[in-house]
Amino acid sequence: MPQKDVGASHFPLIEPGRLSEFRFNEPFSAPVGTPINLFSATLATTFILVDDPGDRVWVNAAVRWFANFTAVGTVTVTFTLLRDGVPILAINQTVFNPVAGAATVSNVFRLQYVDLPLSGLAIPTLTPVVYTLQASTISTTAFTTGPVTLSVAEIEPNRL
Amino acid sequence: MSEIHAAQVSSLEKGKLTEFQVAEPAALFGNLTPPVSFPVAPAFVDLATVSVFVDDTTDRVWLNATVGWFASFTAIGTLEATFQLLRETVVIYETRQAVSSPPSIPAPPAVVNNIVHLEHNDNTPIIIPATVTYTLRVQASAAGAVTSGPITLTAAEIEKNVVG
């Protein structure tokens, strides 16, 4: 049962907007293994059980990635977040090599997103929702060896 | 989800996240139309605003923000963006991120993308219980920086811990 917010001096109500059902997928927590080519890659997948139409899902993700250059140039990677296979977020990040020689250039992708997966639902229904983080680029020289982290948490509706 | 298991330890669990608020003007790259150009200092442009009701002076507010942005270079150079978080009209957090052009500009202009993520814990959000408004704003060192999304700003009240 929800607890009273006993610390609230003026509004001793049940505090809404809480975080619950935290889940995550962290296939690599450190740079290890065979590099994953970001030309077209699924980096992480996790699911969460949500039940109320007003539930928010707070999605956080972090990926260290790099591009191997042999000459001056830029590489842009698009990271896409999907809910049950449907893209709901897309964001780009670029690295560049300023020198004429070979170089490996790293960057860290980090984002948060808030989703409302059961919006419009008439009655509360326990529903599994799958979130997937994908990467794509026109380059064939962008990779990740980790870390890759994708976390989701259900946030209950607020008081107002 | 119901907190069936939490009841057993509810008298001990503190430091909880509550009152989660979000402003999300755009979720996809290119969805913010028209795109927002970053003004050159000293001007700023507001990107997102959230309000959160804080009921205890011991509450903290945990702020997170993500902005995808880019610069279109027509000449070799570096462009720096300054991102700020304000509580009402007071700047409580500032960070900077730069992008640089490649050493040669192809045609059309060289577009360099980046992602900024801000995280700040506001330890003194209120003096008395009140609704507090937080704003994310940005400026750039030179013309040419733009966001077309995504932009996400969240604020959540964090209750006091059991100890400390």
Query: Any chain B CB within 8 A of the CB of A47?
Result: no
- In 3-state terms, what secondary structure has residue B8? helix
Task: Write out chain A residues lying below 8 Å of B11, CB-based.
Answer: 3
Query: Any chain A CB within 8 A of the CB of B72?
Result: no
Burial of A138 from C-beta contacts in 10 A (0-12 / 13-18 / 19+) = exposed
Helix (H) or strand (E) holding A120: none
> Is the peptide bond preceding residue B108 cis, with omega within 30 degrees of 0?
yes
Q: What is the pLDDT of residue A6?
A: 40
- In 3-state terms, what secondary structure has residue A146? coil
CA distances from A92 to A1, A50, A107, B26, B131 (A): 42, 29, 12, 14, 34
Q: How far apart are CA B62 and CA B28, in angstroms?
A: 24
| Cβ within 8 Å, pair A11-B1 | no
The string of pLDDT tens digits covering residues A18-70 is 888 898 999 888 777 789 999 999 999 999 999 999 999 999 999 999 999 99
Q: What is the pLDDT of residue B4?
A: 47
Task: Write out chain A residues lying below 8 Å of B28, CB-based.
Answer: 87-90
| Cβ within 8 Å, pair A17-B102 | no
Q: In terms of CA atoms, which chain A residue is nearest residue B58?
A: A7
User: Which of the listed ranges A16-20, A61-65, A156-160, B12-16 does the model predict with the highest average pLDDT?
Assistant: A61-65
Interface of B with A in 123-152 (CB under 8 A): 129, 150, 152
Which residue of A17, A98, A154 is in closest CB contact with B18? Answer: A17
The string of pLDDT tens digits covering residues B96-151 is 999 998 888 877 789 999 999 999 999 999 999 999 999 999 999 999 999 999 99
Q: How far apart are CA B79 and CA A63, in angstroms?
A: 24
Query: Any chain A CB within 8 A of the CB of B156?
Result: yes
Q: pTM for the whole thing?
A: 0.87
